[in-house]
Chains A and B, each alone.
Chain A
Amino acid sequence: MSMNENQPILSVRDLETMIETKRGEFAAVDGVSFDLYPAETLGIVGESGSGKSLTGLSLMRLLPRGIGRISGGSVELDGSDLTAIPEARMRKVRGRDIAMILQDPQTSLNPAFTIGDQIVEAMRLHRKPQPEGFMAMAVDTLRKVRVAAPEMRVKAYPHQMSGGMRQRAVGAIAISCQPKVIIADEPTTSLDVTVQAQYLRLLRELQEQTGMGILFITHDFGIVARVCHRLAVMYAGQVIETGPVKRVFDRPSHPYTQALLNSVPKLSGHQGRLPAIEGQPPALWAKPKGCRFSPRCPYADDRCRAEQPPVTHLGGEGRDRHTASCWRLLP
């Protein structure tokens, strides 16, 4: 494996995903580009409906059949374009190269099978058995995600475990085949705060051990600040700003990012009433012609409303690259 630290493991370019609705077919993911580097966590942040979850599903090619399809762009992993390979090969990629952690541990484990069986199923598909057998490997994997008494837990059914424990089991399934990339779609929203903190710490530790890249899909800036190295802010199907977390938090450049960060409560200092962003994000079928954010943007002018802004490079290269798409950033 050529693990160049500064070579992205996953490169997404101009990804476009169409969604079929009663009013016709519309681009729900609308030209998304980003890179994911080894041992890095990239936060994909946005409101519900911004296309962040669909981006995740597009990478896995698990869009709901007959409703969603990838209509353009590329997803490069290890030199091959995942949007172009046949389904049979894609199935080998799923679970082995890219794994997924879903939102709700309550429902993402199959109630009819034991935890051990569900971990073993993934390993049986993608790995060779060690002499001690798959079940022993499953016990090992559970130990890695800090499940107490893993020898007992492999025989347990999901309903016999707590929510936090179940989400760890989902994590165990995800890391069971040592993937290069994990897509975590709001993995902690349904957990209570202390369990959430433990889980995030666990993810970070696993990442340090394995060097996997994590794509962390969330709407929560607090989590982004805690676990992500970089972030990409999505609005109406587009990435409108991306960069290292610290840099973006210090110098948010897109008015939408600024507004979002302003609406997060702060612990220190006096803030008064939290500012809200006026209006609603546009519906899929009613996107504005120019900048997608222009109807809600306090600075928008005629050019903003007429033409989409280009990506502006604001500094840094590679992992440090900071870009945003706003007309006002141009001289």
Chain B
Amino acid sequence: MQRFFLVKLVESAIALWVITLIVFGLTHFSGNPVGALLPDDASPEQVAFLINKLGLDQPIHIQYLRFLGNAVQGDFGLSMKWPGQSAMDVVLSRLPATLTLGGMAMLISVVIAIPLGVASATRKGTIVDSFAQGIALIGQSMPSFWLGIILIWVFAVGLGMFPTSGSGTWAHLVLPAISIAWFQISALTRLTRSAMLEVLDAEYVKLARAKGVSEPIIVWKHALRNAAVVPLTYFGVLAGSVLTGSVVIETVFSWPGLGWTAIEAIKARDFPVVQSVVIVFAVIFILANLLVDLLYAYIDPRIR
């Protein structure tokens, strides 16, 4: 178990390192940042001074090592759009908002999708199954930004039940969280359903019945424990898509999180902030997958 954990930890570290390479590479191939930093009429002396100050006259590997050294300390330079703050501070101050929204969306999807998937598998071919399949079909057919706008139109503008945008209260959280969650519910429900159907046919489920175990315990303990690996795998992907999805949804709902910050920073060519956002997204993504791997080992003793 410790060995398994160690291996996964090393893998995560390697993944993170590769990401720093990509981030560094992308910012370098996207052109000379001096042009963006200085006004058009800057004198050659000013340009030379800045190049020297930023270390752009150094060989590329020295530049990368400096970047890496700073990155390890969380230093990506100063923000340009939000003067006076370091890029990482800007990003970290927006992080809780995104984690709240993403966490709520994932919570909603798991709490709804797992029971729905299990119910539709155990009642295959009944009205419950058709209902669950319907929910899944609708969710997968709607782009989340469109769903977001429709939800605003119906529940905020029409019924006045929730605020249209912004943040601050739990009520602000409801519509954006549902917009993100519905799509996830679709995939999770269907995955849970198919995994459960397969497991419910297994010999060990038959043997559990032959032991006199009651049906609810067979379904929720014997079967789900084995079926859970499939939706769990998806959970790692889910964490990623919640983050990328947040870029769109946070813009639709003016939710002041990382996604919204990323869009603003890109519009303002605020490279340090964009870099920081990408790195933070990557770290969250890697942590989520590390968590999934650990849960794997907990659920399935064969992986340990």
Binding site for B on A (CB under 8 A): 60, 62, 66, 91-96, 99-100, 102-104, 107-113, 121-122, 125-126, 157, 159, 170, 173
Interface string of B194-205 (1 = CB under 8 A from A): 000000001110
In the complex, are the beta carbons of B225 and A112 less than 8 A apart?
Answer: yes
In the complex, are the beta carbons of A96 and B301 less than 8 A apart?
Answer: no
Query: Which of A108, A125, A173 has the most B CB atoms < 10 Å from its CB?
Result: A108
**Neighbour of A104 across the interface among B203, B222, B300, B302, CB < 8 A:** B203
Check B66 for interface membership: any CB of A closer than 8 A: no
In the complex, are the beta carbons of B213 and A125 less than 8 A apart?
Answer: yes
Are A92 and B212 CB-contacts (below 8 A) given A108-B204, A157-B301, A159-B302?
yes
State in angstroms the CA–CA spacing of A157 and B302 once bound together. Answer: 8
> Of all chain B residues, which has the CB nearest A173?
B211
State in angstroms the CA–CA spacing of A112 and B199 once bound together. Answer: 12
State in angstroms the CA–CA spacing of A260 and B303 once bound together. Answer: 46
Shortest 6 CB-CB contacts between residues of A and residues of B:
A95-B212, A100-B210, A94-B212, A95-B211, A107-B203, A108-B203
In the complex, are the beta carbons of A111 and B207 less than 8 A apart?
Answer: no
**Neighbour of B207 across the interface among A91, A92, A108, CB < 8 A:** A108
Are A170 and B302 CB-contacts (below 8 A) given A92-B212, A111-B226, A112-B225?
no
> Of all chain B residues, which has the CB nearest A105?
B203
> Of all chain B residues, which has the CB nearest A99?
B210
Check B208 for interface membership: any CB of A closer than 8 A: yes
In the complex, are the beta carbons of B300 and A122 less than 8 A apart?
Answer: no
When distances are taken between beta carbons in the complex, the residues of chain B under 8 Å from A121 are: 208, 211, 213
**Neighbour of B209 across the interface among A93, A94, A103, A104, CB < 8 A:** A94
Binding site for A on B (CB under 8 A): 125, 202-204, 206-214, 222, 225-226, 299-302
**Distance (whole angstroms) from the CB of B138 to the closest CB of chain A:** 28
> Of all chain A residues, which has the CB nearest B223?
A110
In the complex, are the beta carbons of A110 and B208 less than 8 A apart?
Answer: yes
State in angstroms the CA–CA spacing of A92 and B212 once bound together. Answer: 6
Are A122 and B211 CB-contacts (below 8 A) given A110-B222, A159-B301, A159-B302?
yes
> Of all chain A residues, which has the CB nearest B229?
A112
State in angstroms the CA–CA spacing of A110 and B151 once bound together. Answer: 44
State in angstroms the CA–CA spacing of A173 and B214 once bound together. Answer: 16
In the complex, are the beta carbons of A94 and B207 less than 8 A apart?
Answer: no
State in angstroms the CA–CA spacing of A60 and B210 once bound together. Answer: 7
State in angstroms the CA–CA spacing of A92 and B300 once bound together. Answer: 30
When distances are taken between beta carbons in the complex, the residues of chain A under 8 Å from B299 are: 112
In the complex, are the beta carbons of B210 and A95 less than 8 A apart?
Answer: yes
Q: What are 5 A-B pairs with beta-carbon distances under 8 A?
A: A94-B212, A99-B210, A102-B207, A112-B301, A159-B301
In the complex, are the beta carbons of A109 and B301 less than 8 A apart?
Answer: no
**Distance (whole angstroms) from the CB of A137 to the closest CB of chain B:** 15
In the complex, are the beta carbons of A102 and B300 less than 8 A apart?
Answer: no
> Of all chain B residues, which has the CB nearest A104?
B203
State in angstroms the CA–CA spacing of A92 and B209 once bound together. Answer: 11
Are A109 and B212 CB-contacts (below 8 A) given A157-B301, A159-B302?
no
**Distance (whole angstroms) from the CB of B72 to the closest CB of chain A:** 40
**Neighbour of B203 across the interface among A66, A92, A102, CB < 8 A:** A102
When distances are taken between beta carbons in the complex, the residues of chain A under 8 Å from B211 are: 94-95, 99, 121-122, 125, 173
**Distance (whole angstroms) from the CB of B40 to the closest CB of chain A:** 66
When distances are taken between beta carbons in the complex, the residues of chain A under 8 Å from B302 are: 111, 157, 159
In the complex, are the beta carbons of A93 and B203 less than 8 A apart?
Answer: no
**Neighbour of A62 across the interface among B125, B209, B214, B301, CB < 8 A:** B209
> Of all chain B residues, which has the CB nearest A103?
B203
Given A94-B211, A108-B203, A111-B300, list of 15 further CB < 8 A pairs?
A62-B210, A95-B210, A99-B210, A103-B203, A104-B203, A109-B204, A110-B226, A112-B226, A112-B301, A113-B225, A121-B208, A122-B211, A157-B302, A159-B301, A170-B207
In the complex, are the beta carbons of B301 and A94 less than 8 A apart?
Answer: no
When distances are taken between beta carbons in the complex, the residues of chain A under 8 Å from B125 are: 66
In the complex, are the beta carbons of A108 and B206 less than 8 A apart?
Answer: yes
**Distance (whole angstroms) from the CB of A3 to the closest CB of chain B:** 23
State in angstroms the CA–CA spacing of A93 and B212 once bound together. Answer: 7
> Of all chain A residues, which has the CB nearest B205?
A110
When distances are taken between beta carbons in the complex, the residues of chain B under 8 Å from A91 are: 212, 214
**Distance (whole angstroms) from the CB of A156 to the closest CB of chain B:** 9
When distances are taken between beta carbons in the complex, the residues of chain A under 8 Å from B207 are: 100, 102, 108-110, 170, 173
In the complex, are the beta carbons of A126 and B210 less than 8 A apart?
Answer: no
State in angstroms the CA–CA spacing of A103 and B203 once bound together. Answer: 9
**Distance (whole angstroms) from the CB of B133 to the closest CB of chain A:** 18
In the complex, are the beta carbons of B209 and A107 less than 8 A apart?
Answer: no
State in angstroms the CA–CA spacing of A94 and B125 once bound together. Answer: 28
**Distance (whole angstroms) from the CB of B287 to the closest CB of chain A:** 25
**Distance (whole angstroms) from the CB of A69 to the closest CB of chain B:** 16
When distances are taken between beta carbons in the complex, the residues of chain B under 8 Å from A122 are: 211-212
When distances are taken between beta carbons in the complex, the residues of chain B under 8 Å from A157 are: 301-302
Query: Which of B210, B214, B222 has the most A CB atoms < 10 Å from its CB?
Result: B210
When distances are taken between beta carbons in the complex, the residues of chain A under 8 Å from B202 are: 107
When distances are taken between beta carbons in the complex, the residues of chain A under 8 Å from B203 are: 102-104, 107-108
Query: Which of B212, B225, B300 has the most A CB atoms < 10 Å from its CB?
Result: B212
State in angstroms the CA–CA spacing of A110 and B208 once bound together. Answer: 9
State in angstroms the CA–CA spacing of A206 and B207 once bound together. Answer: 20
**Distance (whole angstroms) from the CB of A13 to the closest CB of chain B:** 23
> Of all chain B residues, which has the CB nearest A64?
B201
State in angstroms the CA–CA spacing of A95 and B213 once bound together. Answer: 9
Are A107 and B204 CB-contacts (below 8 A) given A95-B210, A126-B212?
yes
**Distance (whole angstroms) from the CB of A54 to the closest CB of chain B:** 13
**Distance (whole angstroms) from the CB of B302 to the closest CB of chain A:** 5
